[in-house]
Amino acid sequence: MAYTKLKNSLKTQMMRMTLIPLIIMTVVIVAVSASVIHKTIVDSTHEELIRDAKLAVKFFDDEYAGDFWAEDSDGDGEYEMYKGNQQLNGEYTVIDDVAEMLDIDISIFYDDKRLLTTLKDASGQRAIGTSAAVVVRKDVLEEGQSHFYNNVLVYDNKSFAYYEPLRDENGQIYGMIAVGRTQGEVFKEIAKNMWPIVTACIVIALLIGVIMVGYNRRLGNRIIRMDKYMNTLSSGEFDAEIPRELMVEDDELKRLATDGRKMARAIKNLVEYDALTQLNNRRYGDKKLEDIRVRAVEMGVKYCICIADIDFFKKVNDTYGHEMGDIVLKAVADKLKAGMMGKGIAARWGGEEFLLIFENRELDIARRELSIIMDDIRTIYVPDTDRQITMSFGLTAMIPGESTDESLKRADENLYEAKETGRNQIICK
Choosing from 143, 352, 369, 420, which is the catalytic residue?
Answer: 352
Of 159, 92, 163, 102, residue with least CA distance to 132: 163
Contact 57, 175 (CB under 8 A): no
State how far the Cα of 131 lies from the Cα of 141, in Å rounded to an integer: 12
Residues constituting the chain: 429
Residues 6+ apart with CB under 8 A from 41: 186, 189, 190, 193
Q: Is 72 helix (H, G, I), strand (E, B) or coil?
A: coil
Residues 6+ apart with CB under 8 A from 334: none
State how far the Cα of 370 lies from the Cα of 363, in Å rounded to an integer: 10
Q: Is 352 an annotated catalytic residue?
A: yes
Give me the phi and psi of 69, to 5 degrees please: -155, 165
Of 345, 367, 360, residue with least CA distance to 411: 367
State how far the Cα of 242 lies from the Cα of 303, in Å rounded to an integer: 32
Active site residues: 352
